[in-house]
Structure 1
């Protein structure tokens, strides 16, 4: 294998392929999808909801019926019906102890790919310090290496022989924020990611507000999501995957 970030303890791998590579190595995995899967899971658990991640290429509605949960709708439809969705600000205390199935092209898919690892946690800007602290704890127990997976986005209308992954700066900054608090030797890829966050930190909110994904959400009427997801260390909530759903570490 020519592409290899070993013997470093902290690594950065992009998207579904990166999640799969980390799972095959048996690494501790942190899934980072700032706008919005990771931030939604963190916000939902912070309000007591129970989230089951599910890939979008399978029948999430059937799965929700099977486990007695509600399938989360798209943002626009959920707004019309007054229900929670992939929008992190749609969750509040009224959803405490309620079960939801959450699908997404990026974060949920990467979670599904990497589910069978020593520990799979959800990270974003919202909980960067808290999730890093939890992972530092796990690493001392397991001696496993750590891979952070910035999920990125997917290009629309992909033609033959084109890549589908669209790297997203908000996920890269989220990964860098977590690396800022992680212990262990970092790969060159992780060092560059960390340096990017440290350089961007003074104007983090402005950069995410104006980035492509932020502008896309704002254009669809979800500016509040962009503001919410840009907050650094606003939550102590650390989602970890247990028995197909997330619990707070």
Structure 2
């Protein structure tokens, strides 16, 4: 690993995808993963409903086995949801669900990166536009003097499997970084500053930008405009998912901490 890629010396760092997580994560006290459409938005909706979420790479036979072993519900494909007992990566489906306590949530992007970071020993925070401010407050409380936070935009995939930098994740990262800066956690890498600038460029009309970006158009064409609407609800949630023993659970509110 080239030392320059780690962005060492900056308290707030930013990069893309699994390789970016590998570069910036090891030197950070906490790593924020952002996958706005839709893993971390679905994750935020789940934990605010009291659902523990296990991030999983693929929805395959092994995912079903893991779900059974943990007495959890396995998320199905978006168009496979048939009732309140089933959910998918669609945040809307999770908001409509009932009776779910544990959820195995596969995602080739956000979930894969979160699981990869956890295996490397990182403390992982799930961040979306919905909880950007609450997540920043949590991170600032946790950061010790001189400690750094790495911000990882998950991105999407091109048909050949290569990383497609997804602008909605850049904006989500920027919203989170903006909230960190407001709380005095500054000293941004150039990369983190670029994410912040990108967010500020759309902050006045974030809903329209999210709807009209490539991923937003794709989801709307696929029949899930509600997922884009939920994802655009800036700072509507106070739940902060923290990956603990393999499961994302909501961090206790500050007054509940011992």
The reply to whether residue 90 of structure 1 matches residue 88 of structure 2 is no
Contact 2:174–2:198 (CA<8 Å) still a contact in 1? yes
Structure-2 separation of matches of 1:26 and 1:55? 23
Q: Runs of 4 or more off by more than 4 Å in structure 1?
A: none
1:127 to 112, 131, 140: 131
The alignment's C-alpha RMSD in Å is: 1.7
TM-score by length of 2: 0.89
Q: Which is worse superposed, 94-103 or 174-183? A: 94-103
Aligned to 1:67: 70
1:149 to 152, 155, 160: 152
Which runs of no fewer than 5 residues in structure 1 stay unpaired?
Answer: none
Give runs of aligned pairs for residues 33-182 of structure 1, distance below 5 A: 33-56=35-58, 59-78=62-81, 80-82=82-84, 83-92=86-95, 95=98, 98-115=101-118, 116-140=120-144, 143-156=146-159, 158=160, 164-182=162-180
Structure-2 separation of matches of 1:114 and 1:219? 32
How many residues of Structure 1 are paired with residues of Structure 2 in the alignment? 242
Structure-2 separation of matches of 1:148 and 1:43? 20
Offset at 1:95?
3.4
Offset at 1:3?
2.9
Offset at 1:68?
1.2
Offset at 1:42?
0.2
Give runs of aligned pairs for residues 4-23 of structure 1, distance below 5 A: 4-23=6-25
TM-score by length of 1: 0.92
Aligned to 2:208: 206
Structure-2 separation of matches of 1:102 and 1:18? 22
